[in-house]
Every structure is written in C-alpha cells, then in structure tokens.
Amino acid sequence: MLNQFRNIVTKRVIYNSFMFNSNRNLQCTLTVPEFNKNRSKSAAYFKYFLYFTSGCLIYKVFLQKNSSKTVHNAVSFSTGGTKLAGRRKQFNFIADVVDSSAPSVVYIEIKDSRQFDYFSGKPVTVSNGSGFIIKSDGLILTNAHVVTSRTNAKVEVRLHDGTVYSGVVEDVDIQSDLATVRINAKNLPVMPLGNSSELRPGEFVVAIGSPLSLSNTVTAGVVSSTERGSDELGLRGKDMVYIQTDAAITFGNSGGPLVNLDGEAIGVNSMKVTAGISFAIPIDYVKRFLNSARGVSKVPLEGAKRRYVGITMLTLTPEIISELRQRNQPVPNNIKHGVLVWKVMYGSPAHMGGLQPGDIVVKINKKDIMNAADVYNMLGDKSLRSLKLSINRMGKDIEINITPEDVD
C-alpha cells in the first residue's frame, strides 16, 4: 500500500516537472519574439520623439536668434548701435562743408528807392541774390546781375547771424557777370578761394545761397563739365569757360559760392537752365577780376548810357537744346536757335512788357535771333525805340513789345 502511494506520488512529481519544464520552454519560445517586437516599436517611437523634440529645439533657437538680431538692429538704428555707430560723422561730408562755409555766405536784397510798397511804405524789393565774403573787412563777391538790376537801387546785405548792413557796389564787370559789394563791418568770416583749373568732371560740389529769400539753402551735385564756352551763354568779348553742374542753382542762389569738399569756393553760382543744368563762373576768372578791380565805380560803364531791358539770357545751342529735350523740357521740334530767358527783373521793361522766365526769343523786329550777341546788337541800335519780340512760350508762338530804358 505504501509502495503503491509512493509510486503515484513519484509519477505526479515527474508529470508536474515535465509540465513545468514544457510550459517554461513554451513560454520562453513565445515571449522572446513578442519582447523583441515590442522593443522595436518602442525604439521607433523613441526615435520619432527625438526627431520631433530636436526639431522643436532648433526652431526655438532659430526664433530666439532672429528676434535678438532684430532687437539689436532696432537698437542700432535708434540708439547708435555698434554696427552703425559713427557713420553720420564719417560720411556726412556735405554737412561738414556747409558747417565750414555757411557763415561767410550772405543774402543780398535790391530795393528800388523810387517805388514803395502800398501797405508798408518801404521800398519795393526788385531783386535778390546771394554773395560770399572774400575779405574780413567787408568785401563781398556776387553776380553783376544781382546788384545792377535797376538804377537808383539800394543794396541791403544780411549776414549769416541776421545782421543787416547797407552795401555799396564797388566794382562791376557786366561781361563776366561779377561784382563786389562793400559793407562797413570788420572781422567777418571769409570764404577761402580754391583753384577751378584743378576741377575735374564728376567731383562733388555744394551750392550755397538764398533761393526765394531763404538764407543759406544748400544743394549738392557733381561737376558735369568744366569747359562750357562763354558764347553758349551769350557773353560777348570775354574768352572764358563755365562750370556746368547738376546742383540746383535757382534765382536766389545767384552770386553764392560753388564749394568743393575742401570748403573752398571754386565757382560763383550764375544761372540754372533747367533741373540738372546749372552754370557757375570759375573762381580763376574771379581772381583776375579782383586783381583788376578799382574799388571806386558803382556802375563801371565808362560814362556811356546803355539800353536796359532787365533779363538774363542763355544762347540755345544744339547741344543745350538736346539736353533740355532729354530732360523733358517743352522745347518744340521747330526751335533750332534763339535765346532762353532765364530771369526777368521785377519792374524792368521786359517785366512790364510781359516777358517771362522760360520764354524762348526767336526773333526781334522780324530778324532771326541766333544767340545772345544778336540781342545786344539790337539793343545797341539807338534808332530802335521799341522792340517787337517773337517768342515761344510753352509751345505757343506769341509776340510782345518792349521799350528799353536808357540808364547810366
């Protein structure tokens, strides 16, 4: 009985052991592939998670970098950051020229002592322009057409600090359009004179003057040409050339200095034909005029009377006509010659007759006008008391009558 029970127990143990081992082996054979599969999925998920996290971090760093750069640039522009600091001082060379030259530039106003304003009772202003001080004792250089626009005129000079002086015209050269004015003042700032012979096309220049009665207005440009012949501008008997520049020279700028980047006057602003075409008298001719100046005559015309119409004009050569058309100026195709009226003096015979700046004079008394010399010849004919001008105004042909004045 005992042996039988022992046999049964032994068989059960062997059976259980066999089943246990079988189950364990079975479990092992089933569990290892499942574990490997799960581990591969987990690794893939983890890899994707790393990719996503890395992308987020890179994007965040990129945004922070750009935002910091934007803030830095804003700080640079607003507070003079390190990247742009010093550029105003380094590159504003025109402002440096103006700071040095402006104190010697003056505003000149011509008043007619025979005409008075109805409301103020003061003499009427007939012309204005600019000039600049060339000697500390009150000698001022300007254009002749600024100070000789009318007889019996009173000259007033306003300095950079606002002080107003009465001026006396000392010397005038009508042909070169230069004049000197003297005021009773001492220790004035002086404009140094350069050498126009050293000037090159393409150089930066600054024109300083008083256009529209605004003191010390500045325009800048480059030298277009250093040799524009006097014949093209209608000046007779004067072998000289002119400086052409694209710096704007308006009516009030006449007589002011054309300054180089060294702060030296290399020309005297004379006239503007149109936007981008202006002329200045070279300073080398000014030096010759100053060396021959006598300092005694108010109107140096050797006592002879002259006929006065009160205009400043420019001979229209084919080259100038071509330049005007290229700049979209209203020059009709049938205009091949004539003179362009650049300025009309207020109250002059030309002004009273209806002549306007921009008019093109093509005939006088039915005679073709080829250049400014023809106009001077007509004025020199004493038998002609009245002049009938055929002009072109903005493409329209009209005729006006002008009676010149005899002036001393």
Q: Which of 127, 145, 230, 390 is catalytic?
A: 145
Q: Convert 14-39 to b/e letters by CB count within 10 Å (16 or more is b).
A: eeeeeeeeeeeeeeeeeeeeeeeeee
H helix or E strand, kind and range, residue 351:
helix 349-353
Exposed (0-12), middle (13-18) or buried (19+): which is 310, by Cβ within 10 Å?
A: buried
C-alpha span between 161 and 103 (Å, rounded): 8
C-alpha span between 264 and 100 (Å, rounded): 9
Torsions phi, psi for 339 (to 5 deg): -125, 140
Q: Which amino acid is at 270?
A: S
Q: Which of 101, 254, 278, 348 is catalytic?
A: 254
Does 72 participate in catalysis according to the annotation? no
C-alpha span between 301 and 172 (Å, rounded): 9
Cα within 13 Å of Cα(6), Cβ side: 3
- List all residues 6 or more positions away from 203 whose beta carbon is below 8 Å from its beta carbon: 222, 223, 260, 261
C-alpha span between 89 and 117 (Å, rounded): 47
Per DSSP bridges, beta strands 105-116 and 396-402 are unpaired
C-alpha span between 29 and 254 (Å, rounded): 109
Q: Which of 173, 177, 284, 359 is catalytic?
A: 177
H helix or E strand, kind and range, residue 338:
none
Q: How far is CA 274 from CA 144, 249, 330, in A?
A: 21, 9, 11
C-alpha span between 290 and 293 (Å, rounded): 5
Does 145 participate in catalysis according to the annotation? yes
Which tokens hold the place of 291? Answer: 């060396």
Does 160 participate in catalysis according to the annotation? no
- The angle subtended at Cα 375 by Cα 397 and Cα 168, nearest 5°, is 120
Torsions phi, psi for 155 (to 5 deg): -100, 125
Q: Which amino acid is at 262?
A: D
- Catalytic positions are 145, 177, 254
